[in-house]
Chains A and B, each alone.
Chain A
Amino acid sequence: MKSSTSPSSFPKAEIGKEMKGSDCVVECLIREGVDVIFAYPGGASQELHQSLARTDKIRTILPRHEQGGSFAAEGYARATGKVGVCMATSGPGATNLISAIADAYMDSTPIVAITGQVYSKFIGKSAFQETDFFGMTLPIVKHSYLVLNVHDLPRIFKEAFQLARSGRPGPVIIDIPKDVQQAKFTPVFPPTVEFRNPLISQTPHASDEELKNILALIAEAKRPVLYIGGGLISAGAHDELKTFAEKTNINVATTLMGVGAFPETHPLSMQWFGMHGAAYGNWAVDQSDLLLCFGARFDDRITGAVDKFAAGAKIVHLDIDAAEHNKNKRGVIPVTSDVKYALARLNELITAHKFTPPDTSGWHQQIATWKKEYPFDNKAGFGNSPHILPQEAVATLYELTKGDAIITTGVGQHQMWAAQFYRFDKPRRYISSLGLGAMGYGYPAAMGAKVACPDKQVIDIDGDGSFLMNVQELATCHIEKIAAKAMILNNQHLGMVVQWEDRFYNSVRGNTILGDASNVGGPDNLDGIYPDYVTIAKGFGVKARRVHKKSELREAIQEMLDHDGPYVLDVIVPYTEHVLPMIPAGKTVKDMILK
């Protein structure tokens, strides 16, 4: 392997003492400020665990499945913006990381995944627990390394962390053969790293002309809308956005990735839009004449039929990744920029040029009317049901936590209700697998977020299907004393698929019942409920409680919040609720189902 930036090309490089490759890995992690790693050992990563055992600067958490560990690294990264780190052995250990790597790629989450690899001499020989991890992850990484020379370790780790966290963040993998871990050498730690690709080291900044053009478009607009994505949270630009929205008096609709980028209780907030987003947000985007898309990527769950999306609007697409421009939605005005810089500069230009926004009071009035007619978190129906409704459980949790918790989710109906009935005023509080939609994400992500933010309430709002996919992490939380809570909205079904069955497949159940199909459990048939999560949790030594009575919901949630340790609250809810509104896949705002 030829290396373009050999350690010796850095004059100010620091020469370390002689050490093993595995000790050097730990030294590199410490130098990158890593304080926790989620790592499951095996033959090919054992050396690395031995080295981790020799340091007290890094907390090594043993997950009970590599997928749990890698989702935890993502939860850590999403809650903090710092790089999350996970590690696994070669072969099956490595393949178990793949869902999280794909997820981090889709949701632009900064993680570094380290894998042990078989001895170099065994690579390509179908050795025990050998897989070509470098090869199989190529389409789902921001970058990847197979380390064949121990001297490359310090440079590769520095590059990997810089790549993971800079620009548009993403996953980087480092695959290290066992002989490289064992090799003794004198490491040279480069103070900086350089990339020959000129785009990697540059942070793109919008020109003043481009930004003034945006202001000129705003000055002419009658129905402007800000469409805000997760890029804003990655950039830490929420304060700049608030100032900009207020100064221009433009309503803000976020994507699910962008939830919390703008305070959802702010009068200009339209919460989030898309397939299950707020009706008024969808209508406003649909009828806008100027759509300012910052840090988002026109995902199909946002646009529906993309050619009919915001068809009457001029669309400005500002993103740090030029490859997103005109990818899904064509005919946009592209601006390639770090969004934090762009918003800060826009705010300066507004002040310097005494920019006053146009009178859009009619538009604001229209949005207010829609908002009143179709409120997003409609609590009106709660009283009509004799049972606890899943939406009601989320709304109650919001009330009791005063909106101040970090919420993670699995994937499905509960994921949507969590975003509909909990309001997020701050970024990095709604942590969910959104692009990939990986079930089983919720509880391990909560574990990672709780490790990162031990002083905050961290609650996984989960479904009974998703929760079971990584239930083993209860053991991790118990042993490691990680007080991540789970509130399961248990409807005994794969609720979102059931909803599609009800809407589009004549309610034929295609393997969507999680218990005994001849004795389906639910609030009216408690004996049929399967599995018994309270008993499962008990086996893990985790406190748990089942609640099915409306009258006990509030007190049960409070008990979960008050408990000083991991906790599972199994909330029995009917499976008949549908997530609304809903724009069916590939359809338009006009096809939105409201009832």
Chain B
Amino acid sequence: MRHTISVLVENQFGVLARVSGLFSGRGFNIDSLNVAPTHDATLSRITVVLKGDDAALDQVTKQLRKLVNVVEVVDFKEGQAVQRELLLVKLKADGKTRSEIMQICDIFRAKIVNVAHDSVIVEMTGDDAKTAAFLDLVEAFGIVELARTGALALTR
């Protein structure tokens, strides 16, 4: 099952290694991972998305709670949290396709943040379903590069 685990940690070196080590040491592959400071600069929030056996992941969250630099751990079940991801995608674009790309961007409320002769960079945010649908549509134009933040989540 897919899990989104939110870990509030002290903003110190080594903490990310401790947290990610608990996953890698048990053979979990992390789908996405995001780290950034919170409104309290001494704390950071790590958001981990991964698939795995529920019981094994329950073990990991318990181990996470034991880490000295961890303040809080929440394993979001489906629907409990608002979840968003930001992605930047560079698409092949020429005079013929640019307007079609802009139309799709409009529908998805995505923004074109850079235009070149043969490409555009699009900024887009959404939940899993929206980002998947968007990428599915724009793939036909040719994806040159893609960067994603991984999911961020806050409890409702």
Contact = CB atoms under 8 A, between A and B. Distances in A.
A595 interface: no
Interface stretch (B14-22, B79-87, B130-138): B14-22
Given A326-B55, A327-B59, A2 B67 contact: no
Given A138-B21, A323-B66, A330 B71 contact: no
A322 B62 contact: yes
A196 B10 contact: yes
A323 B13 contact: no
B21 to A, nearest CB: 5
A196 B10 CA distance: 8
Interface of B (DSSP majority class): mixed
B65 A199 contact: yes
A196 B58 contact: no
Using C-beta atoms within 8 Å of the partner chain, give the interface range for chain A. 20 to 34
B18 A138 contact: yes
B11 A2 contact: yes
B147 interface: no
A2 B67 CA distance: 17
A139 B71 contact: no
A4 interface: yes
B34 interface: no
A197 interface: yes
Contacts of A128: none
Contact of B14 (A3, A4, A146): A146
B25 A195 contact: no
A121 to B, nearest CB: 17
B68 A323 contact: no
Interface in A195-217: 195-200
A195 to B, nearest CB: 6
Contacts of A200: 68
B12 interface: yes
Interface in B1-33: 10-14, 17-18, 21, 25
A138 B68 CA distance: 12
Nearest to A141: B18
Interface string A527-548: 0000000000000000000000
A135 B15 CA distance: 11
A166 to B, nearest CB: 11
Contact of B12 (A1, A138, A322, A325): A1
Interface in B40-89: 41-42, 55, 58-59, 62-63, 65-71
A196, A325, A327, A330 interface centre (most CB from chain B within 10 Å): A196
B62 A197 contact: no
A289 to B, nearest CB: 25
Contact of B69 (A139, A197, A198, A325): A197
Contacts of A138: 14, 17-18, 21
B66 A163 contact: no
Given A2-B42, A327-B59, A199 B13 contact: no
Interface in A137-153: 138-139, 142-144, 146
B149 to A, nearest CB: 23
Contacts, number: 54
A577 interface: no
Contact of B42 (A4, A146, A327): A4
Interface string A1-18: 111100000000000000
B13 A163 contact: no
A1 B13 CA distance: 7
Nearest to A159: B68
Contact of B66 (A1, A3, A321): A321
B65 A4 contact: no
B11 A135 contact: no
A139 B21 contact: yes
Contacts of A146: 13-14
Contact of A2 (B12, B21, B68): B12
B122 to A, nearest CB: 36
B55 A197 contact: no
A254 to B, nearest CB: 25
Nearest to B59: A327
Interface in A423-462: none
Contacts of B67: 197
B55 A330 contact: yes
Contacts of A144: 14
B59 A197 contact: no
A134 interface: yes
A167 to B, nearest CB: 9
Given A326-B58, A327-B59, A163 B14 contact: no
A5 to B, nearest CB: 10
Contacts of B17: 135, 138
Contacts of A139: 21, 25
A522 B90 CA distance: 76
A323 B42 contact: no
B68 A163 contact: yes
B66 A199 contact: yes
Contact of B71 (A3, A196, A326): A196
Contacts of A142: 68
Contacts of A196: 10, 69, 71
A330 B58 CA distance: 12
Contacts of B55: 326, 330
Contacts of A327: 59, 62
Interface in A114-160: 134-135, 138-139, 142-144, 146
Given A196-B69, A323-B59, 7 more contacts: A2-B41, A3-B12, A143-B68, A196-B10, A323-B63, A323-B66, A326-B55
Which 3 A-B residue pairs are closest in the complex by CB-CB distance?
A: A323-B62, A143-B68, A196-B71
28 contacts: A1-B13, A2-B10, A2-B12, A2-B42, A3-B12, A4-B12, A135-B17, A138-B14, A138-B17, A138-B21, A139-B25, A142-B68, A143-B68, A144-B14, A146-B14, A163-B68, A195-B68, A197-B65, A197-B68, A197-B69, A198-B71, A199-B66, A323-B59, A323-B66, A326-B58, A326-B59, A327-B59, A327-B62
Interface of A: 1-4, 134-135, 138-139, 142-144, 146, 163, 195-200, 321-323, 325-327, 330
